[in-house]
Chain A
């Protein structure tokens, strides 16, 4: 067997490590009956005690959704989703009014998050990260509320924000991702249940990392959360998102919408470690992760960075994007996507340059193994007013094994003569030369592979906040040990 073939085996054992988060929490839930109709939407809206305008918006989205089809231009094809089969609302029973503090949270839930490595209680002791935990359809806990409020930062479940600051929600929700953007976003607009809301007031640097942890627990539920982050003039926030789900044989749908708004001189850093259940090695089960994430850099000198480490989901369909409206605004996209077994991913970004002197940077690293199939799909558009705009794209794919696929589909559209677009892409494999060289220096094959993979991902891993970098590194199946140099 050649060294490369052996490597493939090594990597497979390395990554076949069982999905650690596949357990189910046994908790009594309040579940809406399966099916999707105006009734369902009225039910959700009533549960959340929503104002009339929001219900009207949901119903408008629903009416539109009934007239459209799911997209089919992406590479991974999936069977038609039966939207009537799923349940659109699930909440732990005792959460009706929402917990006032962690003491009111069901201990079973706290234990669940502890198992996931997100100890909500301890987190309260450790300064650094404030967490909003979303369990199925509702937010179960938000930590550090008091400290954040001191700084004027609003960080709460979006259902709570609708009550607390309806004018902000009404003003911004749907302003970046309109309800008719694509079928999944439309569906989300109709049925979203919870999610996080962040508002950073003028001139405030958010005193800690904000984090939301999403967990799908119930069977036959979809998760439709909605995140809205508004960074007012001159503010800064770093936001982290993590996700897991139990192992189930059915495909579960996750159709989230994330909207970011950055005003003048504001900066938002949005990091995701996505580890939804990917299905088993034969491609049974797993999450359909069909997510719409978009940022509007509305203000001058505003900046948004998306960093993502994608290792989970049966099928991923997501393109975190930046609309660069404000002059001098900056958009960044750093991504590592790893697919193994039968996973399929069609992911990338869109950078829409509208303002003058806007700039964007895209670094995408895709690793395909097993029988998986991965597509980078990216759009860079220079509108005719985007004078002196700049884009740099680097898009690399690494193939491990000869049964997987890696595809690169960049779209470059420039209507401005002074705008500059640079795009580079490579596809390669771990070469036998590299492995032999490392082994000749005494490094065993598995570590050698890990080193090369780590090197391949390095540029993106460096972008993650420390707390997440470690988790991401573990996810990638690599030890960080010794790489500080």
Chain B
């Protein structure tokens, strides 16, 4: 393709108009800033290590309602159905009412599609979307803002605790054309509200597609959100996923991210800690093989005193897989008594595997406790030998060590059912890995 930027401009132009003036204004804003930046290139410092190459040479087709009606055989789930407060299924960016339910919700909670929330004229949706990408010069977020069609929307009013799990399933692809989808999600938790949301990012068959997803998350005083995103897209998928989180006083945000799928994937977390006592925890596990590439980019802004952030990302890379971790903790002036911790550890199994890690601290207050660490290396040979002397075959021993390596992150998942699910996915990955390792040896 000659000019991929032009291609995306054309895609945006094909976007149906919106009757709502504020939404129209938002799109124009996204359009304008994307027109300024164009697609990310490795010349931009924050995109130095990740090149979304398929975007440069694939003629993507904008996903429309027609692609939403696609047949679906299997809907992944991590939970016993009895525990589900709601299930929201999206196919190629559109909401599938027939596959979704939201019958188990407490009063006043909204849990459905962004479209229906917008149609209902919910003020919280507009608020959340409008604050969204302010000040972020981020081509992928601008592109999403310009092209947004639908996504999930969750609102929990003051004092309400959602007991069950909200499980969101996003299935993309499954068509001959290379689809581009732009899901936009909103989660708003009012004071003392609490929710647990799990998002599956999966493919419908392993077809070429591009998903550019953005979630606007607002946590008011003492609200608490646990959000797990499980990425198991097909190997021809290119994906970008960003959480834009604003946290008020005493709010808690616990995020877990599992990256197993995708050809090229990038997950960004932008956390703004704006009230004293706000806490966030960002955890992630990435297991990549073949030619897979995944990127975890986080930025935590400590804007006021007494805020806490804690990040732990661990990954295992086999074959020629490549992973990128870019973490940035920014402590603003006067944000005293900040506690910021960041850890990134990677094991390289394959000879062609590569990790690029950039854990960054930017600090303008003096009474802070910030630390980061990063390591990369291979499995502990002594431990491997030890296990083998006890009769455990090498591939099993390797599996055990990988499991124990990422186990530290798995243990931080509070929900036991989700923890078990994640463990089983890791085991599945390992069994695939064992056969790969066998081929190599």
Contact = CB atoms under 8 A, between A and B. Distances in A.
Interface of A: 4, 73, 382, 384, 397, 399-429
B363 A399 contact: yes
Nearest to A409: B360
For the residues of A in contact with B, the DSSP-based class is strand
B354 A405 contact: no
Interface stretch (B101-109, B178-186, B343-351): B343-351
Interface stretch (B163-171, B209-217, B228-236, B371-379): B371-379
Contacts of A412: 355-358, 374, 376
B364 interface: yes
B365 interface: yes
B356 A429 contact: no
B377 A419 contact: yes
Nearest to A428: B369
Contact of B375 (A384, A409, A417, A423): A423
B374 A421 contact: yes
Contacts of A410: 357-360, 374
Count chain B CB atoms within 10 A of each CB in A412, A420, A421 and give the residue with the most.
A412
Contact of B354 (A403, A409, A413): A413
A425 B361 contact: yes
Count chain B CB atoms within 10 A of each CB in A413, A414, A419 and give the residue with the most.
A414
B355 A414 contact: yes
A408 B357 CA distance: 13
A420 B378 contact: yes
Contacts of A404: 364, 366
Contacts of A403: 333
Given A409-B358, A412-B355, A425-B359, A399 B374 contact: no
A384 B376 contact: no
Contact of B372 (A399, A408, A418): A408
Contacts, number: 117
A409 B375 CA distance: 15
B354 to A, nearest CB: 4
A418 B370 CA distance: 30
B360 A424 contact: no
A418 B375 contact: no
A382 B346 CA distance: 14
Nearest to B367: A429
Contact of A421 (B333, B358, B371, B375): B375
A426 B371 contact: yes
Given A415-B354, A420-B375, A425-B371, 17 more contacts: A399-B365, A403-B333, A408-B360, A409-B358, A410-B358, A410-B359, A413-B356, A417-B348, A417-B349, A418-B378, A419-B348, A419-B377, A421-B377, A422-B375, A423-B374, A428-B368, A429-B367
Nearest to A369: B366
Given A425-B372, A426-B370, A406 B377 contact: no
Count chain A CB atoms within 10 A of each CB in B358, B361, B366, B367 and give the residue with the most.
B366
A73 B43 CA distance: 11
Given A412-B374, A425-B372, A426-B370, A402 B365 contact: yes
Categorize the interface residue count of chain B.
Answer: 35 or more
A429 B366 contact: yes
A400 B370 contact: no
Contacts of B353: 415, 417
Interface of B: 45, 333-334, 336, 346, 348-378
A410 B327 CA distance: 10
Contacts of B358: 409-412
A397 B375 CA distance: 20
A481 B352 CA distance: 53
Given A73-B45, A414-B355, A419-B377, A408 B368 contact: no
Nearest to A413: B356
Given A420-B378, A422-B375, A423-B373, A407 B360 contact: yes
A426 B363 CA distance: 11
Contact of A427 (B363, B374, B375, B378): B363
5 contacts: A402-B336, A417-B348, A420-B376, A422-B375, A423-B359
Contacts of A400: 366
B348 A414 contact: yes
A402 B356 CA distance: 32
A419 B359 contact: no
Count chain B CB atoms within 10 A of each CB in A4, A415, A417 and give the residue with the most.
A417
A32 to B, nearest CB: 38
B45 A402 contact: no
Q: Across chains A and B, which 8 residue pairs bring their CB atoms closest together, nearest first?
A: A420-B377, A417-B348, A399-B366, A412-B357, A408-B361, A423-B374, A427-B370, A414-B376
Contacts of B366: 399-402, 404, 429
A412 B361 CA distance: 14
A114 to B, nearest CB: 40
A384 B377 contact: no
B311 to A, nearest CB: 13
A411 B354 CA distance: 13
Nearest to B328: A409
Nearest to A427: B370
A382 B373 CA distance: 17
Given A427-B363, A429-B366, A414 B354 contact: yes
B374 A405 contact: no
B363 to A, nearest CB: 5
A397 B373 CA distance: 14
Contacts of A418: 378
A93 B357 CA distance: 53
Contacts of B363: 397, 399, 405-407, 427
A428 B366 CA distance: 7
Contact of B376 (A409, A421, A429): A421
B359 to A, nearest CB: 6
A370 to B, nearest CB: 12
A384 B360 contact: no
B324 to A, nearest CB: 10
Contact of A429 (B357, B368, B373, B374): B368
Contacts of B357: 410-413, 423
Contacts of A426: 370-371
A415 B376 CA distance: 10
Contacts of B359: 408, 410, 423, 425
Nearest to A402: B366
Contacts of B350: 417
A424 B376 contact: no
A27 B106 CA distance: 87
B69 to A, nearest CB: 45
Nearest to B340: A427
A407 B376 contact: no
Contacts of B334: 402
Count chain A CB atoms within 10 A of each CB in B333, B350, B359 and give the residue with the most.
B359
Given A402-B336, A412-B355, A424-B371, A407 B348 contact: no
A400 B370 CA distance: 15
Nearest to B350: A417
B383 to A, nearest CB: 14
Contact of A402 (B348, B361, B367, B377): B367
Nearest to B353: A417
Nearest to B348: A417
Contacts of B373: 422-425
B321 to A, nearest CB: 11
B364 A405 contact: yes
Nearest to A403: B333
A4 B368 CA distance: 13
B351 A417 contact: yes
Contacts of A415: 352-354
A415 B377 CA distance: 10
Contact of B361 (A382, A407, A414): A407
Contacts of B370: 426-428
Contact of B348 (A411, A416, A427): A416
B118 to A, nearest CB: 41
A46 B371 CA distance: 54
Given A408-B361, A410-B359, A412-B355, A427 B376 contact: no
A418 B350 CA distance: 9
